[in-house]
Amino acid sequence: MIEQWLSYSLHDLLIFSSESYYRLHELYNLSLWPLQVFIFLLFCLALYLNIKGYRYYPKAILIGLSLAWLLNGFWFVSQFYVQINPLANTLTYAFYLQAILLMLLAVFASHSGGSPGPSGVRAVNGWSLLMYAGFVHPVALFLLGRKFAGLEIVGIAPDPTALATLGILIMLKKRIYWLAMIVPSVWITLSILTYLSFET
């Protein structure tokens, strides 16, 4: 029995193909267009406010992230992803939980010290994740053969949204923010396993 289980690969456990997954993103993007443009501009504005140390930055960015997770849970996971993965219904509740947690953190966020400031390892790691999520990730997917219509935009698609969330939370100062890293980390892990299964 154990040997039989060990004989399975990640690809054997996947219930959908890479083509179905990529096509899903195309249809999802089409259903929201041109919201991607507006969300991307908001992301750039958030980066600018971070650099400038805007007083209300923690509250603003946490509210924005909360709405992004709500959108991803309600629209991407429960309306699209569930079409190729029946287990996605369970993930929907995790996305809603993440949205609620981020909103609660926003309510109690301090006005002072809006930006964490570009210093230290945490800032380097945080900015690296933000840059990748917002700019490198969609370009990398395009270079790897993904159609333009299926590119994943931060705030719209779950992968870059999860990465951006981790980047922001790493840079914010309060330790309680680490609680909001659990769901994004789990999603990124599942996403990595999904892509690895495509390769095998």
Task: Please compute the mean of the pLDDT values over residues 90-106 and round it to a whole number.
Answer: 95
Phi, psi torsion values for 157, nearest 5 degrees: -100, 150
Tokens of residue 134, six digits: 């917002």
State the pLDDT at residue 39: 96
Most confident of 7-11, 156-160, 168-172, 192-196: 156-160
CA distance 27 to 157: 12
Is there a contact between 190 and 4 (Cβ–Cβ < 8 Å)? no
CA distance 151 to 171: 27
How many CA atoms are closer than 13 Å to the CA of 38, on its beta-carbon side?
Answer: 6
Between residues 18 and 156, the one the model is more confident about: 156
State the pLDDT at residue 117: 52
Task: Please compute the mean of the pLDDT values over residues 26-36 and round it to a whole number.
Answer: 97
- Whole-angstrom CA distances from 77 to 8, 20, 22, 80, 94 are 27, 14, 14, 6, 10
The percentage of the chain sitting over the pLDDT mark of 90, rounded to a whole number, equals: 65
State the pLDDT at residue 110: 65
DSSP for 95-132 reads HHHHHHHHHHHHHT--SSS-S--S-HHHHHHHHHHHHI
Whether the predicted pLDDT of 27 surpasses 60: yes
Task: Please compute the mean of the pLDDT values over residues 55-66 and round it to a whole number.
Answer: 90
Lowest mean pLDDT: which of 14-28, 127-141, 144-158? Answer: 14-28
CA distance 196 to 175: 32
Whether the predicted pLDDT of 12 surpasses 80: no
Between residues 9 and 35, the one the model is more confident about: 35
State the pLDDT at residue 119: 62
CA distance 105 to 145: 38
